[in-house]
Structure 1
Amino acid sequence: MTPRVYLVDDHAMVRSGVRAELGGAVDVVGEAADVAGAVEGIRATVPDVVLLDVHLPGGGGRAVLETLRAELPSVRWLALSVSDAAEDVIAVIRAGARGYVTKSISGPDLRDAVARVADGDVVFSPRLAGFVLDAFAATTPSAPQPEDPATDPGLDLLSAREREVMQLLARGYTYREIGSRLFISVKTVESHASNVLRKLQLSNRNELTRWAATNRLL
């Protein structure tokens, strides 16, 4: 099913460029340039995914999230910003965004990110995942941590290549980026990723990221 997407950015040329990059992979149901317009438009269309700029006239992307998140629980939010500052990333994720990518992202990777968020996954540009993990660790009640980072028996089931793929997945890299780094095809990455989740008895990348953080594998 084609995701229904709403674009929020205060620059018309950026919105036009994003729309062009997304192409037929999504159904763009509306767009807005400021907080008030975004709130009104998103309420009217109830999209699957909102592509949300962080810095907007009228209070920023966080204000849109805080206004609508509880009211529209089915809507998923993906921040798309020129900023890669830790404070921007953490603020919008705490407000309820399911991911954060920077505007340097390629068209294919943006389409992949939107599809994954629409499916309930979380997505971060690679270097931003650490900010989120640090914030999560700082706000989560302390729990007993394994003395040995390899004590989870599932880790022993992974091959050396699967461990490499697992760590890159947990850090937020896309399949294409992992393939490029490891010099393997995207299809091979997908196969390894499937094996990793099956062997570790995890359902998605979000669970994998938390598992890797708990076992100090990031």
Structure 2
Amino acid sequence: MSELRVVVVDDHAMFRSGVRAELERLGTGRVQIVGEADDVPSAVQVIGEQRPDVVLLDVHMPGGGGPEVVRQLPATTYLALSVSDAAEDVIGVIRAGARGYVTKNISAAELIDAIERVAGGDAVFSPRLAGFVLDAFAGTIDVAQVDEDLDRLTEREREVMRLIARGYAYKEVAKELFISIKTVETHVSNVLRKLQLSSRHELTRWANDRRLI
């Protein structure tokens, strides 16, 4: 197999550097990084210029997120690579047209294998995530309702909601998202109001029922 040309799209420069370093260390003769981007407009530009075999695509980034990149350049092969394992993120980018979805705790060797597999036409998912996709297409998860509920929340409110539902204390959420505790409290209050919930316990159950955590 000839060397696969890869573009890395992620809004965290240190993560892109780490991926590049690992792929260059272990992927010699198999993959080559030909470009990077940190938001939707720059991703569309570099993908259009480089025409890579595979794009490693983060889900959340400025300009509309990974699904927007896929919608603008649907002929490209995409492998979502994200810290998020939330059902709506997985289903959203796959519905847009990505060929697979793996989380950022994947090893470099596994990532290279996943790149080669999607380039060859396979669909590749981290084991837990495959169930989300199967359930969505089988109708077990009401994707339309999940989308409608989440559309009421801002991007930041979604981030706060997931962390709170995973059991983070307000102080831990503030540290994770680089915001004040007061701001976290405001976001939680807004989330509960918009989703018509009355407590953190209800929020956790709501998020768990929809496989958002």
Task: After TM superposition, give the deviation of residue 61 of structure 1 in Å.
Answer: 0.5
One of 25, 30, 35 as aligned partner of 2:35: 30
1:6 maps to which residue?
Answer: 7
Q: Deviations along 1:19-69, whole A, 9 cap, x unmatched?
A: 112122311110100000000110111110000000011110011011110
2:165 maps to which residue?
Answer: none
2:101 maps to which residue?
Answer: 100
One of 38, 61, 64 as aligned partner of 1:59: 64
2:200 maps to which residue?
Answer: none
Task: After TM superposition, give the deviation of residue 137 of structure 1 in Å.
Answer: 1.6
Distance 2:5 2:20 in 1: 12
List alignment gaps of at least 5 residues for structure 2: 141-213
Distance 2:22 2:135 in 1: 32
One of 39, 46, 49 as aligned partner of 1:41: 46
Distance 1:76 1:3 in 2: 12
SS of residue matched to 1:51: strand
SS of residue matched to 1:120: coil
Q: Deviations along 1:183-216, whole A, 9 cap, x unmatched?
A: xxxxxxxxxxxxxxxxxxxxxxxxxxxxxxxxxx
Structure 1 segments, 4+ long, off by >3 Å, are: none
Task: After TM superposition, give the deviation of residue 15 of structure 1 in Å.
Answer: 0.4
Task: After TM superposition, give the deviation of residue 112 of structure 1 in Å.
Answer: 0.5
Aligned length: 135
Task: After TM superposition, give the deviation of residue 131 of structure 1 in Å.
Answer: 0.3
- 1:83 corresponds to 2:73: no
Q: Deviations along 1:100-131, whole A, 9 cap, x unmatched?
A: 00000011101100011111111000100000
SS of residue matched to 1:54: coil
1:119 maps to which residue?
Answer: 120
Which amino acid in the other structure matches residue 111 of structure 2?
L
SS of residue matched to 2:84: coil
SS of residue matched to 1:127: helix
SS of residue matched to 1:84: coil
Q: CA RMSD in A?
A: 1.1
Which amino acid in the other structure matches residue 119 of structure 1?
G
2:195 maps to which residue?
Answer: none
List alignment gaps of at least 5 residues for structure 1: 140-218
SS of residue matched to 1:27: strand
Q: Deviations along 1:124-157, whole A, 9 cap, x unmatched?
A: 0010000010112229xxxxxxxxxxxxxxxxxx
Identical positions, percent: 69
TM-score, normalised via structure 1 length: 0.60
Distance 1:54 1:3 in 2: 22
1:68 maps to which residue?
Answer: 73
Q: How does 1:135-174 map to 2 (within 5 A)?
A: 135-138=136-139
Distance 2:53 2:137 in 1: 25
